Amino acid sequence: MSVHKDLINHAANQNKLYQEFLALDQQRELYIEEAVELCKQGKLFTTDKINEVTNRMNKINLRITSIRKNVTVEMVQDYVKTL
């Protein structure tokens, strides 16, 4: 019975971490969109918020998710040039 409870607890914990990861991923995408819009308008922007969330996501370290790369200002600028 103890093993069964351990498995249930493990699955619940994994699900909690996955939900946290998904919420952070959404937040990251919003910050990226914000940076892209600022860049399009020729305004100053940083990628600090994006990378702070990215680092938090990568620390979750779920096997089913890939490591996210940190974003540079140049990456955003290059992306905007392709639009």
**pLDDT of 39 above 70:** yes
Lookup: tokens for 46: 């940083």
- pLDDT, tens digit (0-9, with 9 covering 90-100), for 43-71: 999 999 999 999 999 999 788 888 999 99
Q: How many CB atoms lie within 10 A of CB 20?
A: 14
pLDDT at position 48 is 98
Confidence category of residue 28, pLDDT binned at 50, 70, 90: very high
- Cα–Cα distances in angstroms (integers) from residue 6 to residues 11, 14, 19, in the given order: 9, 12, 20
Count of domains observed in the chain: 1
1: confidence class by pLDDT, cuts 50, 70, 90? low
